Structure 1
Amino acid sequence: MKTIVIIQARMGSSRLSGKILKPLGEVDVLTYVTSRCRKIQGVSEVIVATSLLRQDDAVEQWCVENGIACFRGSEEDVLDRYVQCAKQYEPDYVMRVTSDCPFVDYEMANDIVAIMERERVDIVDVVGEMPRGLAVELISYKALLFIHENGQEPRHREHVTYYAYEYREQFQRAVYDVPVNRLYPELRITLDTEEDYALCQAVASHFNNSLVSNSDVIQYLVEHPEVAKLNTHIEQKPVI
């Protein structure tokens, strides 16, 4: 079973421009994301997939300097960017990660890969409400190609796997139950706004470890509500 991680990344952001290369702890946001993805067991390659826009030259240069594979494709058709990137590696499964989640949960990702190794289905459903910013998605390359052919609405092209949740009956599925120590949906550990950045900086400064377990991150935020409250008022953009 060949599994790759594709991290979608771009410099453009309406609320926090250039966020993926902002400093975080002693490194930067993209270092957090890629280093945590490299900890996922059973993954053969970690690739950053960015756009062809000139502003994303900085992302490609970062990849060159840090020894990370880089692919460049459509800015708006993120689904096509994923498919064209994956074609170069001929994987069995593709894990989707977004670069605005510096604390992506590699421990849960390990469990999800293990489930896919046993079940060999199209997609693993993550069941349970967790903090925003921790989750990964694992889908078969075959299913990704099917979505690419059939998912033609803007929401399908932008959100990559959205079609698989909208038309659930068309895919074979397995279930991963979120561990009890991750069931804190009130927490927001992602990076869309300045308030999100302030929270992530506080966490990074406290642990000074890009590979810190999210069980420790969550415990820290629960024990320090003044930090957790920094971004509780932020609303996630709706899927349209």
Structure 2
Amino acid sequence: METLIIIQARMGSTRLPGKVLKPLGTSTVINYVVSRCKKIQKTLGIIVATSTLEQDNQIEEWCKKHDITCYRGSESDVLSRYYHCAKQYKPDYIIRVTADCPFIDYTFANQIINRMEKNPGDIVIVNGHLPRGLVVEMIAFTALEFIYKYGHETRHREHVTYYAYEHPSKFKHTKVIAPSFLNHPELRITLDTIEDYQLCCVVADYFKGEILIPSQDVVEYLVTHANVANMNAHITQKPVE
């Protein structure tokens, strides 16, 4: 089973411009994401998929400097960018990661891959209520190709896998039960706003810039430090339109 990691990244953001290259700990947000993705086992490698906009030249330059493959495609049609990136390699599966999630859970990602190996399907469905920003998605290339062909609405083109959740009967699901210690949906460990960034900076500093700190430790820290967790508790996710 060949699995490719594709990290979605761009400099443009209405609420937090340039977020993926912002400093974090002793490094940068994107370096956290890529470094943690390298801990995901049984994969072909990592590709950062960004847009062809001039502002995203910085992301390509970062990738070149750190010897990471970079693919550039449509800024607005993210599904097209993802599909054409994956099509070059035609893996069996794609692990989808967004570059604004610096503490993605690579341990749980490995469990997801193992589950897919044992019970192959079109897309992984995680049973649990996890913090936003920790979980990766896993989807078969054939399913991504189907979504690319039939997902025509704006929401489908912007949110790569949304069509699969909107039309569950069209796909075979591989279910994975999330570890109980990760069931804290009240937590936001992602980067959409300045408050999110401030929280992530506090977390990174607390762990002294240790990029590979287990996600479980991050969750436990936030659960036991309500003053930090409350920094972005009022932030609401933008609705899918």
TM-score interval (norm. to shorter): over 0.9
Question: What is the Cα deviation at residue 21 of structure 1?
Answer: 0.1
* Aligned counterparts of 1:23 and 1:129: Cα–Cα separation in 2: 29
Matches within 5 A, 1:26-175: 26-175=26-175
Deviation digits for residues 51-86 of structure 1 (CA, Å, limit 9, x no counterpart) = 000000000000000111100000010000001100
Structure 2 gap ranges (5+): none
- Opposite residue 200 of structure 1, the aligned amino acid is C
Cα RMSD between the aligned structures? 0.6
Question: What is the Cα deviation at residue 89 of structure 1?
Answer: 1.2
Structure 1 match to 2:180: 180
Structure 2 match to 1:218: 219
SS at match of 2:4: strand
- Opposite residue 230 of structure 2, the aligned amino acid is K
* Aligned counterparts of 2:24 and 2:185: Cα–Cα separation in 1: 23
Deviation digits for residues 180-220 of structure 1 (CA, Å, limit 9, x no counterpart) = 00001111100011100010000101112111101100111
Question: What is the Cα deviation at residue 225 of structure 1?
Answer: 0.8
SS at match of 1:133: coil
Structure 2 match to 1:229: 230
TM-score normalised by L of structure 1:
0.99
Percent identity, please. Answer: 57
Structure 2 match to 1:193: 193
Moved over 6 A (4+): none
SS at match of 1:147: helix
Number of residue pairs the alignment of both structures matches: 240
Question: What is the Cα deviation at residue 169 of structure 1?
Answer: 0.5
Structure 2 match to 1:11: 11
- Opposite residue 156 of structure 1, the aligned amino acid is H
* Aligned counterparts of 1:171 and 1:222: Cα–Cα separation in 2: 35
* Aligned counterparts of 1:102 and 1:91: Cα–Cα separation in 2: 25
SS at match of 2:12: coil
